[in-house]
Copies of this chain bind each other. A is one copy, B any other.
């Protein structure tokens, strides 16, 4: 450990990370809502342990392979927040997993629920019904949540509750309105399920941008992910402050071609995400006015306004647009605490299935 690797590499500010973890945990405690962080953001057992020891009730993952890894490393309560289509192989894996952890999966259709029940009945695996609260990605209509829950229950899998991901919070000025949509959709779904005599134990929502406005009168659980690190998206949405950004890509100035700054942090380390509202392909932590205006696999071209170009060979901290994508490109995170550096493995990197 000790010496940092050659650039580009991902660096974590441990003090900021700890502060972010603690702040969300305290907020959840005050609001009397369970915190079940999405670990797809960091994919690292060290950070999952920090979250659990700060009071998280369990973890959220996106794939069976992520669930298997974190369960093997000691996480005993795992929710796969994705409308899985369960086939024979997935059923075997989920049954094995349920021997080691409390496991729940998402379903968003009558067919998906009936299929999950047929293959998972009696395994201990529970389901939550996913509803669409405005992102229009996956999820049943809230009014249809009852039918989906009924199909699950009748086919033999217990229903834990309902969930949504208010992904439309990722837009300018949508932090409050998306939280309102989330609350309305979840309340309607909860009532539709309850009306059929099925108990709803968990009403789960939450994204990092909508977290501060989450309606904890309706939600019993929140599942933010990005809050541990922050990124340029959160910064631009106003959901996190620059001084809370805990992960950067350390990059070297390799060229001044065309009078601009060219860094060695391309899309193969930052990710190519660029939301419609983003002002560039990434930002510089210490130059808030700078923008990455051109990004290819190994080059980031930066417009640096009103500042002399940092010299060739110097290093800078780049803030990725979407930290989940950046972390999933790295084998390790270099964690800095005071003047010491050590590597944490991104153990779940690439576990997409």
Contact = CB atoms under 8 A, between A and B. Distances in A.
A313 B87 contact: yes
Chain B CB within 10 Å — which of A82, A84, A115, A253 has the most?
A: A82
Contact of A62 (B9, B90, B297): B297
A274 B295 CA distance: 11
A33 to B, nearest CB: 24
A34 to B, nearest CB: 23
Contacts of A83: 254-255, 257, 262
A239 to B, nearest CB: 17
A269 to B, nearest CB: 5
A264 to B, nearest CB: 8
A328 B284 CA distance: 24
Interface string A87-107: 101100000000000000000
A137 B329 contact: no
A89 B101 CA distance: 45
B296 A108 contact: no
Contacts of A132: 257-258
Nearest to A330: B350
Contacts of A123: none
A6 interface: yes
A109 B255 contact: yes
A85 to B, nearest CB: 5
A268 B301 CA distance: 24
Contacts of A51: none
A13 interface: no
A256 B167 CA distance: 18
A112 interface: yes
Contact of A85 (B252, B267, B350): B252
A11 to B, nearest CB: 13
B328 A262 contact: no
A293 B240 CA distance: 28
A324 B295 CA distance: 14
Interface string A222-253: 00000000000000000000000000000011
A297 B60 CA distance: 14
Contact of A353 (B8, B253, B352): B8
Interface of A: 5-9, 40, 62-64, 82-85, 87, 89-90, 108-109, 111-112, 115, 132, 136-140, 167, 252-258, 262, 264, 266-269, 271-274, 294, 296-299, 301, 312-313, 322, 324-325, 328-331, 350, 352-353
Given A137-B296, A137-B299, A298-B352, 15 more contacts: A5-B353, A6-B89, A7-B353, A62-B297, A82-B254, A83-B254, A109-B255, A115-B312, A132-B258, A136-B257, A138-B262, A267-B325, A268-B352, A272-B274, A329-B329
7 contacts: A40-B297, A82-B264, A83-B254, A85-B253, A85-B264, A137-B262, A329-B352
